[in-house]
């Protein structure tokens, strides 16, 4: 049976631990200059409706370091669901490549690719979920605190696709998550139910200071995502008071700071916070590479 990765809860707690362990091993080998061509001669097709710096470079570099190859298919190279039905694209690509990574708008598109593909399908990002980011986030938290037990995270801002996958990842690992958002931008009920079925459900509040108090990690993301530019003025007003800045962090003495990037410095987070010694932002960005290598090897190296 083909294994897919459409959201973080496609993995069990034990499988998630195995992926993170493999990621950590690859990171150690890379830094020691030890080759690890575990996916030699294997190829991944990368489908992009949404542009990206980190997703493309980390996956393409990761496949190269694992001894394989990645083929980039941008919006002008392949028309997902328009020029050809998705089920035909999935089956045709399955005859050429060993895995498919898709970064698209609609989550249903990744699910349909997975339904018809006979090779693993990886969600590189949809409007509903960003599980590859969650893998990197969890790897970063585990490194910073030596594990997950007793660790607490405060998410401040929009409960977007990154927050949704993070909520499931924290439930799987037992991390205590508090989500602070304006009421109309809170986590969906279905995400709360999914998290509760996996482990501890997130605590929800509309008070950023309450969420941050005593937290080990304070995490935020942009308030205006790709495709939401027409909502800019409304969203800036709605998220007033939710900026991660020095004043907010004063409520948590030693909290580390995370952001999945790209950041709109001066909006959801200040420049001084990203550049502060408490920031894990760029370790987190690097860990996209290692976490995805761990995932690819788990999916393909049987």
Catalytic residue among 130, 142, 259, 290: 130
Q: Is 290 annotated as a binding residue?
A: no
Catalytic residue among 133, 243, 284, 292: 133
Q: Is 170 annotated as a binding residue?
A: no
CA distance 58 to 70: 11
Q: Is 109 annotated as a binding residue?
A: no
Are 223 and 239 in contact by the 8 Å Cβ rule? The answer is yes
Q: For this structure, is 103 an active site residue?
A: yes
Q: Is 142 annotated as a binding residue?
A: no
CA distance 35 to 32: 9
Q: For this structure, is 260 an active site residue?
A: yes
Catalytic residue among 221, 256, 284, 290: 221
Q: For this structure, is 170 an active site residue?
A: no
- In the DSSP assignment, the letter for residue 141 is H
Q: For this structure, is 115 an active site residue?
A: no
Q: Is 53 annotated as a binding residue?
A: yes
CA atoms within 13 A on the CB side of 300: 27
Q: Is 225 annotated as a binding residue?
A: yes
Catalytic residue among 65, 142, 260, 290: 260
Q: C-alpha distances in angstroms, 185 versus 162, 179, 243? A: 13, 10, 15
How far is Cα of residue 87 from the mean position of the Cα atoms in its chain?
A: 25
Select from 245, 250, 240, 252 the least CA-distant residue to 182.
240
Are 23 and 140 in contact by the 8 Å Cβ rule? The answer is no
Catalytic residue among 22, 103, 142, 259: 103
Q: Is 256 annotated as a binding residue?
A: no
Q: Is 39 annotated as a binding residue?
A: no
Q: Is 260 annotated as a binding residue?
A: yes
Residues contributing to the annotated binding site for carbamoyl phosphate: 52-55, 79, 103, 130-133, 260-261, 288
Active site residues: 103, 130, 133, 221, 260, 288
Residues contributing to the annotated binding site: 52-55, 79, 103, 130-133, 161, 221, 225-226, 260-261, 288
Residues contributing to the annotated binding site for L-ornithine: 161, 221, 225-226
């Amino acid at each position: 049976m083909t294994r897919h990765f459409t959201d973080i809860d496609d993995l069990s707690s034990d499988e998630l631990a195995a992926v993170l362990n493999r990621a950590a091993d690859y990171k150690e080998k890379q830094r020691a200059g030890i080759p690890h061509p575990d996916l030699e001669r294997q190829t991944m097709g990368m489908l992009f409706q949404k542009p990206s710096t980190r997703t493309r470079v980390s996956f393409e570099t990761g496949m190269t370091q694992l001894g394989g190859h990645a083929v980039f298919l941008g919006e002008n190279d392949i028309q997902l669901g328009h020029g050809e039905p998705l089920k035909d694209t999935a089956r045709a690509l399955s005859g050429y490549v060993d895995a498919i990574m898709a970064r698209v708008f609609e989550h249903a598109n990744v699910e349909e690719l997975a339904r018809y593909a006979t090779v693993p399908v990886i969600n590189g990002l949809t409007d509903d979920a960003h599980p590859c980011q969650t893998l990197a986030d969890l790897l970063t938290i585990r490194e910073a605190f030596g594990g997950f037990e007793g660790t607490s995270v405060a998410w401040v801002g929009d409960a977007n696709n990154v927050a949704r996958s993070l909520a499931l990842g924290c439930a799987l690992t037992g991390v205590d998550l508090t989500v602070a958002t304006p009421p109309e931008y809170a986590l969906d009920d279905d995400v709360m139910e999914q998290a509760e079925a996996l482990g501890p459900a997130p605590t929800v509040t509309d008070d950023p200071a309450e969420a941050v108090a005593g937290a080990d990690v304070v995490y935020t993301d942009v308030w205006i995502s790709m495709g939401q530019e027409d909502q800019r003025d409304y969203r800036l007003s709605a998220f007033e008071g939710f900026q991660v800045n020095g004043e907010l962090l004063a409520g948590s003495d030693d909290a580390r700071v995370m952001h999945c990037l790209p950041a709109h410095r001066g909006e959801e987070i200040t420049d001084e916070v990203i550049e502060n010694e408490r920031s894990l932002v760029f370790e987190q960005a690097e860990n996209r590479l290692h976490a995805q290598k761990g995932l690819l090897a788990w999916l393909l190296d049987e």
